[in-house]
Structure 1
Amino acid sequence: MADDLTLRSHRAKGRAALGNPAIRFDRLAAKAVDDGWYQDDDLPVLRTSVSEEMIGKVITRNASPDLSFDRSINPYRGCEHGCIYCFARPSHAFLGLSPGLDFETKLIARPNAAEQLRKELSNPRYQPATIAIGTNTDPYQPIEKERQIMRAVLEVLRDFNHPVAIVTKGTLILRDSDILADMAAKGLVRVGISVTTLDPAISRAMEPRVPLPAARLRVIRALSDAGIPVRVMAAPLVPALTDHELEAILQAAHDAGAVAASCILLRLPREVAGLFQEWLEAHFPDRAARVMNRVRALHGGRDYDPEFGKRMTGQGVWAKITQQRFKLAAARLGLDRRLSPLRNDLFARPPQKGDQLALF
Structure 2
Amino acid sequence: MTRPPQTSRDLTPDHVLPPQSRRGRGVSTNQPGRFESHDRIAIDDGWEIEEDIPQIRTEVRPEIARSLITYNRSPDLPFDRSINVYRGCEHGCVYCFARPSHAYLGLSPGLDFETRLTARMNGAEVLEKELRARSYKVAPIAMGTNTDPYQPVEHQLKLTRACLSVLSDYNHPTAIVTKGAGILNDLDILSDMAARGLVAVGISVTTLDPALSRKMEPRVPPPAKRLAVIRALAQAGIPVRLMVSPVVPGLTDTEVEAILTAGHEAGARSASWIMLRLPAEVAPLVETWLRDSHPDRADKVLNRLRDMHGGKLYEAQWGKRMRGQGVYAQMIAARFDAARRRLGLDEATVPLRTDLFRPPPRPGDQLDLFG
Task: Indicate the residue corresponding to 1:216 in structure 2.
Answer: 226
Identity %, equivalent residues: 61
Unaligned runs of 5+ in 1: none
Q: Does 1:261 align with 2:271?
A: yes
Q: Does 1:321 align with 2:335?
A: no
Task: Look up the SS of the partner of 2:330 in the other structure.
Answer: helix
- Closer, same or farther: CA 79–303 of 1 in aligned 2, 3 Å: same
Q: Does 1:67 align with 2:77?
A: yes
Structure 1 residue corresponding to 2:242, chosen from 221, 228, 232: 232
Q: 2: CA distance between counterparts of 1:10 and 1:27?
A: 29
1:40-59 alignment runs, 5 A limit: 42-59=52-69
Task: Indicate the residue corresponding to 1:153 in structure 2.
Answer: 163
Q: Deviations over 1:252-286 (max 9, x none)?
A: 00000000000100010000000000111111111
- Native 8 Å contact 1:161 1:348 kept in 2: yes
Task: Look up the SS of the partner of 1:68 in the other structure.
Answer: coil
- Native 8 Å contact 2:31 2:40 kept in 1: no
- Native 8 Å contact 1:9 1:43 kept in 2: no
- Native 8 Å contact 1:15 1:208 kept in 2: yes
Unaligned runs of 5+ in 2: 4-10
Q: Deviations over 1:82-137 (max 9, x none)?
A: 00000000000000000000000000001101011111111122110000000100
- Native 8 Å contact 1:83 1:208 kept in 2: yes
- Closer, same or farther: CA 37–300 of 1 in aligned 2, 3 Å: farther
- Closer, same or farther: CA 38–246 of 1 in aligned 2, 3 Å: farther
Please report how far the alpha carbon of residue 340 of structure 1 lies from its aligned counterpart in structure 2 after TM superposition. Answer: 1.3
Q: Does 1:104 align with 2:152?
A: no
Task: Indicate the residue corresponding to 2:8 in structure 1.
Answer: none
Q: Deviations over 1:222-258 (max 9, x none)?
A: 0000000000000000000000000000000000000
1:195-206 alignment runs, 5 A limit: 195-206=205-216
Task: Look up the SS of the partner of 1:193 in the other structure.
Answer: strand
Structure 2 residue corresponding to 1:271, chosen from 259, 276, 281: 281
More deviation in 15-24 or 65-74? 15-24
The residue type equivalent to 2:230 in the other structure is I
Q: 2: CA distance between counterparts of 1:88 and 1:101?
A: 13
- Native 8 Å contact 1:21 1:271 kept in 2: no
Please report how far the alpha carbon of residue 300 of structure 1 lies from its aligned counterpart in structure 2 after TM superposition. Answer: 1.1
Please report how far the alpha carbon of residue 161 of structure 1 lies from its aligned counterpart in structure 2 after TM superposition. Answer: 0.3
Task: Indicate the residue corresponding to 2:293 in structure 1.
Answer: 283
Structure 1 residue corresponding to 2:91, chosen from 81, 84, 108: 81
- Closer, same or farther: CA 79–358 of 1 in aligned 2, 3 Å: same
Q: Deviations over 1:295-320 (max 9, x none)?
A: 11111110100000000010010000
Structure 2 residue corresponding to 1:117, chosen from 95, 120, 127: 127
- Native 8 Å contact 2:150 2:179 kept in 1: yes
- Native 8 Å contact 2:306 2:312 kept in 1: yes
Q: 2: CA distance between counterparts of 1:80 and 1:241?
A: 23
Please report how far the alpha carbon of residue 356 of structure 1 lies from its aligned counterpart in structure 2 after TM superposition. Answer: 1.5
Please report how far the alpha carbon of residue 32 of structure 1 lies from its aligned counterpart in structure 2 after TM superposition. Answer: 3.5
- Native 8 Å contact 1:8 1:38 kept in 2: no
Task: Indicate the residue corresponding to 1:251 in structure 2.
Answer: 261
Task: Indicate the residue corresponding to 2:7 in structure 1.
Answer: none
Task: Indicate the residue corresponding to 2:321 in structure 1.
Answer: 311
Task: Indicate the residue corresponding to 1:185 in structure 2.
Answer: 195
1:282-301 alignment runs, 5 A limit: 282-301=292-311
The residue type equivalent to 2:111 in the other structure is L
Task: Look up the SS of the partner of 2:243 in the other structure.
Answer: strand
- Closer, same or farther: CA 24–10 of 1 in aligned 2, 3 Å: farther
- Native 8 Å contact 2:97 2:277 kept in 1: yes
TM-score (norm 2): 0.93
The residue type equivalent to 1:193 in the other structure is I
Structure 1 residue corresponding to 2:362, chosen from 345, 352, 355: 352
- Closer, same or farther: CA 219–316 of 1 in aligned 2, 3 Å: same
Task: Indicate the residue corresponding to 1:129 in structure 2.
Answer: 139
Q: Deviations over 1:329-351 (max 9, x none)?
A: 00000001110110000001100
Q: 2: CA distance between counterparts of 1:69 and 1:325?
A: 26
Q: 1: CA distance between counterparts of 2:202 and 2:106?
A: 31
Task: Look up the SS of the partner of 1:153 in the other structure.
Answer: helix
- Native 8 Å contact 1:138 1:167 kept in 2: yes
- Native 8 Å contact 2:15 2:31 kept in 1: no
Task: Look up the SS of the partner of 2:91 in the other structure.
Answer: coil
Q: 1: CA distance between counterparts of 2:64 and 2:74?
A: 27
More deviation in 235-244 or 5-14? 5-14
- Native 8 Å contact 2:27 2:285 kept in 1: yes
Aligned residue pairs: how many? Answer: 360
- Native 8 Å contact 1:8 1:32 kept in 2: no
Task: Look up the SS of the partner of 1:359 in the other structure.
Answer: coil
- Closer, same or farther: CA 107–248 of 1 in aligned 2, 3 Å: same
- Native 8 Å contact 2:140 2:352 kept in 1: yes
The residue type equivalent to 1:127 in the other structure is K
Q: Does 1:94 align with 2:94?
A: no
